[in-house]
A and B are shown apart, each in its own frame.
Chain A
Amino acid sequence: MCQVDEDYHDGLERAEVPSVSKKCVKCKEASAAVVIRAGDTYCRGCFKEYFIHKFRAMLGKNRIIFPGEKVLLAVSGGPSSSSMLSQVQEGLSQNAHKKLRFLPGIVYIDEGGAVGQSVEERQRTVAELQAVFKATGFPFHMVPLEQVLDLPSSVVVTAPAASEQPASAYKAAVDHFIQSDSSSCSTAQDHEQTSVPEVQESHTQLLQQLIGSAQTLTARQDLLNTLRHHLLVHTARTEGYSKLMLGDNCTRVAVKLLTSISLGRGAQLAQDTGFADSRYGDIILVRPMRDYSAKEIAYYNHMFSVPSVFIPGGDTKTTDKASIQRLTESFVTKLQADFPSTVSTIYRTSEKLQTACRNSSTADQADRCLLCMCALDTAVENASAFQATLTSEQLSQNKPSGATGTENPRQNPAPVEQESTAPSGQCCSSGGEDCGRTERGGGGGCCSSAKEPERTDLKSLLCYSCQLTIKDMSSLERLPQYILSEAQRRQRRSQMREEISEFLLDDGDEGS
């Protein structure tokens, strides 16, 4: 007994907690709980205030979301987008002058099919998130990625932008909104009990084949990104939203920025990482979390119990070198560990980037990339780096011996496979439209092989970066129909244009 007592005492004495010495830099009273940026120590309360204020300030400064506007929040269940959701909730619950005044809805894209999750796993994740979404009271839409296979071609056509609203309209809209009472807010939120649409197994297989046809993880992630964007924009359009909020945080923006450069997306950088992105015309993408670091978000979510769901992706538990995206991420995080201002420096660089002269809203349909919808960067003069790359590529392909350039990591080991196996079917090679639709999924008939859009043809419709992604794909016929038919349409158009070109008065003056 004595001994037990002694042991106990021993433990107690050692339990002198080395009290947290640092005080909060804000209130200078409470002891600090978080270190953000180099040396800034915040207590719990001040950290929360700082975090919430930043979100409101970001939206207030940019004045891009109008009062009463329907805004779709893309929530993946990950920490960043879950945090974004919690900030919108927080903002709506604030008192009058601080209140956010838009009408939020939530969209979740279930990508389980693409990364090989079982039906049960997917259902479990969806149920978990549904519970989170229901608790917000916002309408929500659960969309399986498989639906990307049934998108209309209009998704990859930039819609005319909503009428430009002058800056003064913002204030007027705010005033109007305040007067018209916020009661409409709650009635708009009819709880949509959208259960997840049934996913056909064959659709999941098609999706897997599509993703699987990208032979490198880099290309796979790029493709997945593109498809996800298309589906998000389509959902926003069909459900009547005009803004789409994405959860990219500043760590992610920094990674994306460097990744974009390595992937040859230099021309699209400003749009890929900016606060607002108008490449789709009518739907504006907004990134309100791009001021937060991954660390701030993780701490906030942990301290204030923001629910998030971890969803394993295609790159979970992979090594650093699995893809360019992963490699960049690990590079940035490692650098950040030793030099705490790494991320913010890269991030601030991204802020200085301007959308290039050929603004997204002015570029002609034909001048846009079929996949990422950015203005094409491939129509450049002969002396450009792009032309030089093309020339050297052509030269190396002319080599008589079949030496495949193995030094180039983007080149997959067997790129020529489908060209050689596909019998060049003659029966419906020119504009075989009628046989296209039924053949999705790729039977081995002569029609389907003839239908395969020529890689080189498709290339002319893509920006440099998307060309690289397509190059890493073993087969293009797995691409969703909406992309293929839009490609055909554009090709026909440019063909026609060429044929009548000598009769055209002004080259740039083309009607729709």
Chain B
Amino acid sequence: MAAPVAIHLEFGGGAELLFNGVKEHHVTLPSQSEPWDMKQLLVWIQRNLLKERPELFVQGDSVRPGILVLINDADWELMGELDYQLQDQDNVVFISTLHGG
């Protein structure tokens, strides 16, 4: 059994509107048999945090194109994207780049 994972989530660029306008969320992912990865986190966010219009945040297994993800201040493309295994105290940021400017 892996221990619960406490992480810090941040939504910006308009993505926060899908979360009642709240930008920062401190959440604890419950313990489960296998370690948490980003793919599972997205599912968890959809079930527990997302308030409306999931199609504006996720698409298939991943985030919708146009939404950027940073893990601990680094591009998630460098971290393995969906396969990245979350660590306690990780910082995950989602920034929407859609119709901003």
Contact assessment for A33 and B13 in the assembled complex, using a CB-CB cutoff below 8 Å: no
Out of A33, A76, A303, A316, which one reaches B78, CB within 8 Å? A33
Contact assessment for B74 and A20 in the assembled complex, using a CB-CB cutoff below 8 Å: yes
Contact assessment for A14 and B87 in the assembled complex, using a CB-CB cutoff below 8 Å: yes
**What separation, in Å, do the CA atoms of A405 and B88 have in the docked complex?**
59
List, in ascending order, chain B residues with CB within 8 A of A247's CB.
Answer: 101
Answer whether residue B41 sits at the interface, using C-beta atoms and an 8 A cutoff: no
Answer whether residue B85 sits at the interface, using C-beta atoms and an 8 A cutoff: yes
Out of B3, B85, B101, which one reaches A80, CB within 8 Å? B101
Out of B73, B95, B101, which one reaches A81, CB within 8 Å? B101
Contact assessment for B87 and A336 in the assembled complex, using a CB-CB cutoff below 8 Å: no
Contact assessment for A312 and B17 in the assembled complex, using a CB-CB cutoff below 8 Å: yes
Answer whether residue B28 sits at the interface, using C-beta atoms and an 8 A cutoff: no
Contact assessment for B35 and A14 in the assembled complex, using a CB-CB cutoff below 8 Å: yes
The contact string, 1 if C-beta is below 8 Å from chain A, for chain B 79-101, is 11000110110000101011111
CB of B94, distance to nearest CB on chain A (Å): 10
Answer whether residue A240 sits at the interface, using C-beta atoms and an 8 A cutoff: no
Contact assessment for A79 and B17 in the assembled complex, using a CB-CB cutoff below 8 Å: no
Contact assessment for A326 and B78 in the assembled complex, using a CB-CB cutoff below 8 Å: no
Out of A11, A299, A310, which one reaches B100, CB within 8 Å? A310
**What separation, in Å, do the CA atoms of A336 and B68 have in the docked complex?**
13
Contact assessment for A317 and B75 in the assembled complex, using a CB-CB cutoff below 8 Å: no
Out of B18, B78, B99, B101, which one reaches A35, CB within 8 Å? B78
Query: Given A79-B101, A298-B95, A298-B97, A317–B53 Cβ distance below 8 Å?
Result: yes
Contact assessment for A310 and B78 in the assembled complex, using a CB-CB cutoff below 8 Å: no
CB of A312, distance to nearest CB on chain B (Å): 7
Interface size on B, residues (CB 8 A): 34
**What separation, in Å, do the CA atoms of A360 and B90 have in the docked complex?**
54
Contact assessment for A299 and B65 in the assembled complex, using a CB-CB cutoff below 8 Å: no
321-340 of chain A: CB within 8 A of chain B: 326, 329-330, 333-334, 336-337
Contact assessment for A14 and B65 in the assembled complex, using a CB-CB cutoff below 8 Å: no
Contact assessment for B97 and A295 in the assembled complex, using a CB-CB cutoff below 8 Å: yes
Out of B18, B52, B74, B98, which one reaches A33, CB within 8 Å? B74
Contact assessment for A316 and B75 in the assembled complex, using a CB-CB cutoff below 8 Å: no
Contact assessment for B95 and A302 in the assembled complex, using a CB-CB cutoff below 8 Å: yes
Answer whether residue B56 sits at the interface, using C-beta atoms and an 8 A cutoff: yes
**What separation, in Å, do the CA atoms of A271 and B84 have in the docked complex?**
44
CB of B7, distance to nearest CB on chain A (Å): 13
Closest residue to B65 on the A side, CB-wise?
A337
Closest residue to B85 on the A side, CB-wise?
A18
List, in ascending order, chain B residues with CB within 8 A of A11's CB.
Answer: 3, 88
List, in ascending order, chain B residues with CB within 8 A of A330's CB.
Answer: 65-66, 98
Query: Given A312-B17, A317-B17, A337-B65, A299–B101 Cβ distance below 8 Å?
Result: no
CB of A331, distance to nearest CB on chain B (Å): 10
> How many A residues are at the interface, by size bracket?
35 or more
Query: Given A14-B2, A302-B12, A316-B14, A79–B97 Cβ distance below 8 Å?
Result: yes
CB of A48, distance to nearest CB on chain B (Å): 13
Contact assessment for B75 and A310 in the assembled complex, using a CB-CB cutoff below 8 Å: no
Answer whether residue A204 sits at the interface, using C-beta atoms and an 8 A cutoff: no
Contact assessment for B101 and A76 in the assembled complex, using a CB-CB cutoff below 8 Å: yes
Out of B3, B18, B70, B78, which one reaches A20, CB within 8 Å? B78
Contact assessment for A249 and B3 in the assembled complex, using a CB-CB cutoff below 8 Å: no
**What separation, in Å, do the CA atoms of A356 and B49 have in the docked complex?**
52
Contact assessment for A10 and B3 in the assembled complex, using a CB-CB cutoff below 8 Å: yes
**What separation, in Å, do the CA atoms of A418 and B13 have in the docked complex?**
41
7-22 of chain B: CB within 8 A of chain A: 12-14, 16-18
Answer whether residue A268 sits at the interface, using C-beta atoms and an 8 A cutoff: no
Answer whether residue A481 sits at the interface, using C-beta atoms and an 8 A cutoff: no
Answer whether residue A252 sits at the interface, using C-beta atoms and an 8 A cutoff: yes
Closest residue to A314 on the B side, CB-wise?
B99
Contact assessment for B98 and A329 in the assembled complex, using a CB-CB cutoff below 8 Å: yes
Contact assessment for A80 and B100 in the assembled complex, using a CB-CB cutoff below 8 Å: yes
Out of A7, A32, A252, A316, which one reaches B17, CB within 8 Å? A316
264-304 of chain A: CB within 8 A of chain B: 294-295, 297-299, 302-303
List, in ascending order, chain A residues with CB within 8 A of B95's CB.
Answer: 298, 302
**What separation, in Å, do the CA atoms of A330 and B87 have in the docked complex?**
33
Query: Given A316-B17, A333-B98, A302–B70 Cβ distance below 8 Å?
Result: yes
Out of B12, B18, B87, B99, which one reaches A315, CB within 8 Å? B99
**What separation, in Å, do the CA atoms of A7 and B4 have in the docked complex?**
10
Answer whether residue A15 sits at the interface, using C-beta atoms and an 8 A cutoff: yes
Out of A34, A41, A316, which one reaches B99, CB within 8 Å? A316
**What separation, in Å, do the CA atoms of A20 and B78 have in the docked complex?**
7
CB of A83, distance to nearest CB on chain B (Å): 10
CB of B5, distance to nearest CB on chain A (Å): 9
33-52 of chain A: CB within 8 A of chain B: 33-35, 41, 44
Contact assessment for A15 and B87 in the assembled complex, using a CB-CB cutoff below 8 Å: yes
Query: Given A10-B3, A302-B70, A313–B99 Cβ distance below 8 Å?
Result: yes
For the A-B complex with A32-B78, A35-B77, A302-B12 known, give 16 more contacts whose Cβ atoms are closer than 8 Å.
Answer: A7-B3, A14-B2, A32-B74, A33-B75, A34-B74, A248-B101, A294-B101, A295-B97, A298-B100, A299-B68, A303-B73, A312-B14, A317-B53, A330-B98, A333-B97, A336-B65
Could you jot down 22 A-B contacts, CB within 8 Å? Answer: A14-B2, A14-B87, A18-B79, A33-B78, A35-B78, A41-B78, A76-B101, A78-B101, A79-B13, A81-B101, A248-B101, A294-B97, A298-B97, A299-B68, A302-B70, A308-B100, A310-B14, A312-B17, A316-B14, A317-B56, A329-B99, A336-B65
